[in-house]
Structure 1
Amino acid sequence: MRLVRLGAEPAQVGADIRAAISAWGAGCSVLGGVAVFGCRPPGSPRPLDAVIVLPRGVVVVLGVDLPEPALKVDAPLQTPWTIDGWPLVRTEGAVNPGLEGLESAAALARSLQSRGLEPLPVAAIVVVGPYAGQVTQPTTDLHRGVRVVSPNTTSILAAARELATYELPCPVEPAQRLLRVLDESCEIGPAELIDEGFPESGATDLATADTMLIPKYTDRPAAGGTARRFTPRGKLIAAAAALVLVFGVLGTWLTLGRPAASPPPRTPPVQRADGVEFTQRVAARDTSCDRHSFGDVQRWFEQRPCRGLTRAVFDTQVSGRPAAVSVAIVELADEQSARQLREVADTAGTGGVTDLIADGSGWPGGPDGFDNSAQAVQQNGNQVRIVQTVWRGRTSTPDDTGLRALAERGLRLTPQP
């Protein structure tokens, strides 16, 4: 693990975080990668104690200072934490530090995606200190890409190994670009990154490469001249070539005037977020939002028309359970309008943007609709993303933790035309 220190740690437990990661040592014998301390990536809601860039994933690390050492920390993502049975009271920020970790991971993922970088999953580790004897997380929360751990080498290392499991390693060149997002002046050479486990850019995996061997045929010229003498084998080849030519011409005559065959069906676009695969089924682009919305959101659009609306529906599976994701991206005139729309759309009972299934763009085996869906709303500049998620073939509820986690992943999807 190579270490890069940009600034002071935002939390007191940050010193323990840095000491724990430093103990992994240089090279990839333990884990590899690059740890950047004291940085604030573009769009991050708060400074981060560390960002660990690994060959198979990126992990943001947040330090949380407890009022005093704790024997037991209960750390759910949907409700306030409890420290030795007492609630962790927060006067600002998210309801608990775990949600702040997810927000920071999502912000970094969006920043990388907007720059066209290697699609590595971004997860979060929340380190609580100065001491936590036992940290408990609900099992469903562990699938959301966040770990809450004590400030020691073993716990942080185990969490990083669990979270950085992308199927393909990030090559050297994209890793360099990723590090420059964290620090524009960060210059780590290819040799150093290779030592930390990043594969060399442009390397070809010959074990999986498709190869085809074409046998070479050479017809030797006749002795004493340049004229080619046809052997029995040569005559057979010439006859076969003539037959191919005849059948080709005949086929042209037979098909003359017929319409060209239709092209093969298009393969649905596929995207990945945090290791989950999303298949896009339908998509549409509109210039009007009021005709594709309802409730208070529709009345809001009637007074403030949008510049564009992009919608799509994705098919996916979470732990073997089929689900559907509706993504709507609204483009507005300015950032202030986007902030107002986010506040309206993120309030329960105020309506929303109509999904494509409700507009009649379903597909065989797809969901019946997005009633009782879980929702996530996000603003980025003058754009607002609204994501809805439902289970297919089973009952859905807005407070389903699995669907809410899926909605947060859906914020990273980009509809393809």
Structure 2
Amino acid sequence: MRLVRLGADPAKVGADIRAAISAWGAGPSVLGGVAVFGCRPPGAPRPLDAVIVLPRGVVVVLGVDLPEPALKVEAPLRTPWTVDGWPMVRAEGAVNPGLEGLESAAALARSLQSRGLEPLPVAAVVVVGPYAGQVTQPTTDLHRGVRVVSPNTTAILAAARELATYERSCPVEPAQQLLHVLDEDCRLSAADLVEEGFPESGDTDLATADTMLIPKFTEPSAVRRLSRRTGLIAAAAVLVVVCAALITWLSADGPSADPPAAAPVQRVDGVEFAQRVTDRAQTCGPHSFGDVQRWFEQRPCRNLTRAVFETQVSGRPAAVSIAIVELPDEQAARELRELADAAGTGGVTDLVAEGRGWPGGPDGFDDAAQVVQQSGNEVRIAQTVWRHRASAPDDVSLRALAERALRLAPRA
């Protein structure tokens, strides 16, 4: 990550934002890209603490100063925020800082579009400080391209990785033009941008190319007649094979077993998740452990849905465990979220631990990265591990994957 500072920090927490992004280091080993601090793009409603230009997306970063450190910030987009249970009061700006983030991202996107630049997605990260122990957002708000996080390296990095998911990388020349929009004097050489992960040219990657754009080959008339004759012969051969198979099936004692259905696949932010196993239950106690299990003995759940998915992150295979707990009321859901999110308190047993894995699947989720989220009376717990290699709870890539997995909908 290359750093460019244009002006002073608009918010006090801006110093923490710069420190967090600076810790990523130069080059693409962590994330790459260019971070521009203290700029105000054309049409932006306010100066921005940072604009992070990445090969696969742009992230505007807004700092929000809290009156004092907070244990809990609830940050919905449609209603005012609450800080430790009290409504957030601001002397200036919108009552809801998340809306300012969306407005800033939309303004920058319009500026880029009006100039005909690379159509990179523009998202927003709102950083609240000086400290926020826990920040919660409704699940529906996550789909709108804004994240609210604490001012630390891991949280900002995970949010940027989750939001920058364009289908292909932005080449060097459009990236230079984009930086020029942020500030006329913000110029980096092509070599600088290549070092930060931007490709030199915009050659289409065949792995992501749309085959509908491949031109159709036109045959000469003689070759076309030969091709048509060959096609008729092949069609007749196929018909004979189909008839023979049908006769064999009718003469057998009964129909053979249906072939196994393909695993249901869901796509979140460009990442594909293939569902492997799923289970539904009306009780949670037998499928949990530790303090969480004892909690369920006093406060039974209504429904429990669990599933295991497989996916890939930058070509590395990973596994995802999802547990969705439906509780009688929102208060119970809040208690469970706080309990499950604390270290050493147990949790909901994943299906692999109950012997419900698949051949070649993960050995377990013991060292998984975990993210817990509450929405109303529902609690979602996502765990992610690497397959065939060691995992760690603080792995940034796994945590970003777990954030995406919270939006999965297991199918029966």
TM-score (normalised: structure 1): 0.50
**Is this contact kept in 1: 2:162–2:269, CA < 8 A?**
no
Q: Which residue of 2 aligns with 1:19?
A: 19
Does residue 85 of structure 1 match 2:85?
A: yes
**Is this contact kept in 1: 2:35–2:53, CA < 8 A?**
yes
**Is this contact kept in 2: 1:4–1:36, CA < 8 A?**
yes
Does residue 164 of structure 1 match 2:164?
A: yes
| 1: CA distance, partners of 2:222 / 2:97 | 74
Q: Partner of 1:28: helix, strand, or coil?
A: coil
Deviation string 1:94-130 (CA, Å, 9 cap, x unpaired) is 2310000000000000011001110001000000000
Q: Which residue of 2 aligns with 1:193?
A: 193
Q: Which residue of 1 aligns with 2:135?
A: 135
Deviation string 1:109-156 (CA, Å, 9 cap, x unpaired) is 001100111000100000000000000100000111000000000000
**Is this contact kept in 1: 2:88–2:95, CA < 8 A?**
no
Q: Which residue of 2 aligns with 1:73?
A: 73
Q: Partner of 1:36: helix, strand, or coil?
A: strand
Q: Partner of 1:203: helix, strand, or coil?
A: coil
Q: Which residue of 2 aligns with 1:37?
A: 37
| 2: CA distance, partners of 1:85 / 1:204 | 50
**Is this contact kept in 2: 1:171–1:198, CA < 8 A?**
yes
Larger displacement relative to structure 2 (195-204 or 23-32): 195-204
Q: Partner of 2:32: helix, strand, or coil?
A: coil
- For structure 2, list consecutive stretches of 5 or more residues without a partner in the other structure: 226-267, 271-412
Does residue 119 of structure 1 match 2:119?
A: yes
| 2: CA distance, partners of 1:73 / 1:115 | 38
**Is this contact kept in 1: 2:55–2:197, CA < 8 A?**
yes
| 1: CA distance, partners of 2:218 / 2:190 | 37
Which amino acid letter does the alignment assign opposite residue 61 of structure 1?
V
Larger displacement relative to structure 2 (132-141 or 190-199): 190-199
Q: Which residue of 1 aligns with 2:178?
A: 178
Which amino acid letter does the alignment assign opposite residue 19 of structure 1?
A
| 2: CA distance, partners of 1:19 / 1:145 | 24
> Cα distance, 1:213 vs. partner?
9.8
| 2: CA distance, partners of 1:165 / 1:39 | 23
Larger displacement relative to structure 2 (41-50 or 180-189): 180-189
Evaluate the alpha carbon distance shift between residue 68 and residue 200 of structure 1 in structure 2; reply closer, same or farther with a 3 A threshold: same
Q: Which residue of 1 aligns with 2:105?
A: 105
Q: Partner of 1:181: helix, strand, or coil?
A: helix
Bigger radius of gyration: 1
Q: Which residue of 2 aligns with 1:7?
A: 7
| 2: CA distance, partners of 1:164 / 1:127 | 17
Deviation string 1:300-348 (CA, Å, 9 cap, x unpaired) is xxxxxxxxxxxxxxxxxxxxxxxxxxxxxxxxxxxxxxxxxxxxxxxxx
| 2: CA distance, partners of 1:76 / 1:213 | 53
> Cα distance, 1:185 vs. partner?
1.1
| 1: CA distance, partners of 2:202 / 2:74 | 45
Deviation string 1:70-117 (CA, Å, 9 cap, x unpaired) is 000000001111000010012432231000000000000001100111
> Cα distance, 1:206 vs. partner?
5.5
**Is this contact kept in 1: 2:69–2:131, CA < 8 A?**
yes
Q: Which residue of 1 aligns with 2:152?
A: 152
| 1: CA distance, partners of 2:215 / 2:128 | 52
Deviation string 1:6-43 (CA, Å, 9 cap, x unpaired) is 01100000000000000000000000100000000000
Which amino acid letter does the alignment assign opposite residue 141 of structure 1?
D
**Is this contact kept in 2: 1:121–1:275, CA < 8 A?**
no
Evaluate the alpha carbon distance shift between residue 185 and residue 71 of structure 1 in structure 2; reply closer, same or farther with a 3 A threshold: same
**Is this contact kept in 1: 2:163–2:269, CA < 8 A?**
no
Evaluate the alpha carbon distance shift between residue 47 and residue 211 of structure 1 in structure 2; reply closer, same or farther with a 3 A threshold: same
Evaluate the alpha carbon distance shift between residue 240 and residue 95 of structure 1 in structure 2; reply closer, same or farther with a 3 A threshold: closer
Evaluate the alpha carbon distance shift between residue 240 and residue 8 of structure 1 in structure 2; reply closer, same or farther with a 3 A threshold: closer
| 1: CA distance, partners of 2:73 / 2:222 | 79
| 2: CA distance, partners of 1:198 / 1:66 | 36
Q: Partner of 2:38: helix, strand, or coil?
A: strand
Deviating 4+ runs (over 6 angstroms): 211-215
**Is this contact kept in 2: 1:71–1:84, CA < 8 A?**
yes
**Is this contact kept in 1: 2:169–2:199, CA < 8 A?**
yes
Evaluate the alpha carbon distance shift between residue 87 and residue 186 of structure 1 in structure 2; reply closer, same or farther with a 3 A threshold: same
Which amino acid letter does the alignment assign opposite residue 126 of structure 1?
V
How many pairs are equivalent?
224
Q: Which residue of 1 aligns with 2:286?
A: none
| 2: CA distance, partners of 1:176 / 1:79 | 38
**Is this contact kept in 2: 1:80–1:87, CA < 8 A?**
yes
Evaluate the alpha carbon distance shift between residue 240 and residue 67 of structure 1 in structure 2; reply closer, same or farther with a 3 A threshold: closer
**Is this contact kept in 2: 1:13–1:128, CA < 8 A?**
yes
Larger displacement relative to structure 2 (182-191 or 116-125): 182-191
| 2: CA distance, partners of 1:93 / 1:202 | 40
> Cα distance, 1:192 vs. partner?
1.2
Which amino acid letter does the alignment assign opposite residue 94 of structure 1?
A
Q: Which residue of 1 aligns with 2:368?
A: none
| 2: CA distance, partners of 1:158 / 1:206 | 28
| 1: CA distance, partners of 2:77 / 2:145 | 11
| 1: CA distance, partners of 2:181 / 2:215 | 37
Evaluate the alpha carbon distance shift between residue 204 and residue 120 of structure 1 in structure 2; reply closer, same or farther with a 3 A threshold: closer
| 2: CA distance, partners of 1:131 / 1:206 | 45
Which amino acid letter does the alignment assign opposite residue 137 of structure 2?
Q
> Cα distance, 1:205 vs. partner?
3.4
| 2: CA distance, partners of 1:106 / 1:213 | 42
TM-score (normalised: structure 2): 0.51
| 1: CA distance, partners of 2:202 / 2:122 | 23
Q: Which residue of 2 aligns with 1:231?
A: none
Which amino acid letter does the alignment assign opposite residue 156 of structure 1?
I
**Is this contact kept in 1: 2:16–2:152, CA < 8 A?**
yes
| 2: CA distance, partners of 1:203 / 1:105 | 28
Q: Pairwise CA RMSD of aligned residues? A: 2.8
Which amino acid letter does the alignment assign opposite residue 195 of structure 1?
E
